[in-house]
Copies of this chain bind each other. A is one copy, B any other.
């Protein structure tokens, strides 16, 4: 019987103040923890200091888990839990274990009967969905669209098909330096009546969330290049 808990500690997603996106109770839960699983030690330390984690880092153990981590090394990450120490996973941005390798550790924890405790923080996907005005009772997040243009067009048509046949909002993201190109691709190739929501820099100083039909977007200009953006399509 393992009593130690695996906390999932969200990170900020923009340059804004952390107090707007992380509850005080969440910060307090992180204070007694001495074992963290993080994507990048340097930025995780900076985040912990920002929210008021004052323990000397010499008393803290960090385990780096990212795309360079070998699958066979993952079981060692849950060892402190088995020894009775609470742990927390922190991602580089937003909710951990949603779009990062943290979910492999959670999977293992679930298999071994370890209690997993998700904490509250900013989700750019949900914040974009709330502010889009699109259907929140049926939606899908599909990650990235294919890079190849023919494949991208095919995927766009499949997503539009799901919007019209299933009333399902379709959500996706792109590498920031390709954002502008993707937006132009969608405005050019989606149906005129389809609605596109562009949610830029959520919770940050340049936050802008706009929902318009493709027809309307063809008359409007907005710059999203190199800025974190969530794309949403609906009818």
Contacts and interface: CB of A to CB of B under 8 A. Distances in A.
Contacts of A132: 106, 110
Interface string A88-119: 00000001111100011011111000001111
Nearest to A203: B120
Contacts of A138: 140-143
Decide if the interface of chain A is mainly helix, strand, loop or mixed.
mixed
Contact of A25 (B19, B95, B109, B123): B19
B97 A136 contact: yes
Interface in A197-235: 197, 202-203, 207, 209-212
Interface residues of A, number: 59
B109 A120 contact: no
Contact of A106 (B22, B121, B131, B141): B131
A137 interface: yes
20 contacts: A20-B119, A20-B120, A22-B120, A24-B24, A103-B130, A103-B134, A106-B131, A106-B132, A106-B133, A110-B211, A116-B209, A118-B209, A119-B127, A120-B203, A138-B140, A138-B142, A140-B140, A140-B141, A140-B168, A142-B168
